[in-house]
Structure 1
Amino acid sequence: MAGCRFMKREPNGTGAAVTWGLLAAWALHDTEEVVMVPRWVRTQVPELRKRFPRVPETAWRRLESVDAREFATAVAAMAVVVAAAAADGHRTGGRSAVYQTALNAFGLHGLVHLAQAASLRGFTPGSATTPLVVLPFTVWARGRLRGSGVLRPTRPRDLAQGLGFAAAATVATHALAQGVPRRR
């Protein structure tokens, strides 16, 4: 295992698992979403419509219009974003602002999943792997970066940037996926 590229030590002493691990943890988490979202939307939206009558009908129709292929395309596009952030983190020994923002975004988006599940009082796609993968990896990676002296201090602005990064990447990847022609 000592020769394994994934376990290679970075210049500052953090293992490559800290940076490339973001991509691995993200892939495990988003596998849950790819598997669960289409069925969850089909089975839960009718009930959610009744529970939340103030949500505009256009929002429900848009949610129902996302098919499995479009969602998987958005996830694949997000893989490129996360891979680029992980690669930049690896290249800089974890110092990259892009990598650290993506790591913060990953953890914060996990908290959003838990908030969604709590507000709906049940399972939502992403809520199963959040406490098992997303949050533990984020805390572990931040601890390793902190121990290596490369973690930037986290200010409220950094949390806002992380949430903004996650939101912008989600909107962009879903917009891209909508533009991919569907087979008839």
Structure 2
Amino acid sequence: MTDTRLDPLVTYGLFLAWAVHDAEELARGPRWLRENLPGLRERFPGVPERVWKAMESVDEREFAAAVGVMAVVVASAAVAGARSGGRSGFYQGAVTGFGLHGLVHLAQAAVARDVTPGAATSPLVVIPFSLWARGRLRRAGVLRPVSAGGVAAGLAVAAGATVVAHGLGRRLAARF
């Protein structure tokens, strides 16, 4: 049985859950990276030097600007979801990608053997919200199936969006 009513919390909740999660990242991100980069470099010598250089150059202003850029993307996905009754592929992809992003944070924490930025809210907010929203979309009869290829594409899009957000964040931070 499908329930065709979709609570606005299912769609706009994506932005709310993202904001809670990214508040944690804002509070801990650049400082954690500065404090832990030497140890990470030592533990993972195979990572290209350009990756380490890029990571060490991120400051609080750039990080905050990148979060602002990503806010626009996530808010756009939430609005697309609300306007379409949850049917928007952009919105559904964002919900799925958000949940997978939470799993990536947990994997990062396991690899780093530390509570990395984003790892605290991933099991408490990110993953539960994504599962709940997908369940509500399923009950409403609008959830699109996700294939392994879709998961891979979603992770690639999320990674690309992060790179673009940081690139724009760097430019914005330099201008202001």
TM-score range, shorter chain: over 0.9
Aligned partner of 2:131 among 136, 139, 142 = 139
Match of 1:43 in 2: 35
Unaligned runs of 5+ in 1: 1-10
CA–CA separation in structure 1 for the residues paired with 2:170 and 2:75: 21
Alpha-carbon deviation of 1:161?
2.5
1:101, 1:161 within 8 Å by CA — same for their partners in 2? no
CA–CA separation in structure 2 for the residues paired with 1:183 and 1:147: 47
CA–CA separation in structure 1 for the residues paired with 2:148 and 2:48: 32
Identity of aligned residues (%): 57
Moved over 6 A (4+): none
Match of 2:108 in 1: 116
Please list the CA deviations of residues 100-128 of structure 1 after superposition, one character each: whole Å capped at 9, or x if unmatched: 00111100111110111111111111000
Unaligned runs of 5+ in 2: none
Aligned partner of 1:103 among 92, 95, 105 = 95
Alpha-carbon deviation of 1:179?
1.6
Q: TM-score of the superposition, structure 2-length normalised?
A: 0.94
1:102, 1:165 within 8 Å by CA — same for their partners in 2? no
Is residue 153 of structure 2 the alignment partner of residue 161 of structure 1? Answer: yes
Matches within 5 A, 1:16-27: 16-27=8-19
Match of 1:77 in 2: 69
Match of 1:14 in 2: 6
Match of 1:3 in 2: none
CA–CA separation in structure 1 for the residues paired with 2:175 and 2:9: 39
Alpha-carbon deviation of 1:157?
2.2
2:61, 2:173 within 8 Å by CA — same for their partners in 1? no
Alpha-carbon deviation of 1:12?
3.1
Alpha-carbon deviation of 1:52?
1.4
Q: TM-score of the superposition, structure 1-length normalised?
A: 0.90
2:15, 2:74 within 8 Å by CA — same for their partners in 1? yes
Structure of higher RCO (CA pairs closer than 8 Å, 6+ residues apart): 2
CA-based RMSD: 1.5
2:65, 2:173 within 8 Å by CA — same for their partners in 1? no
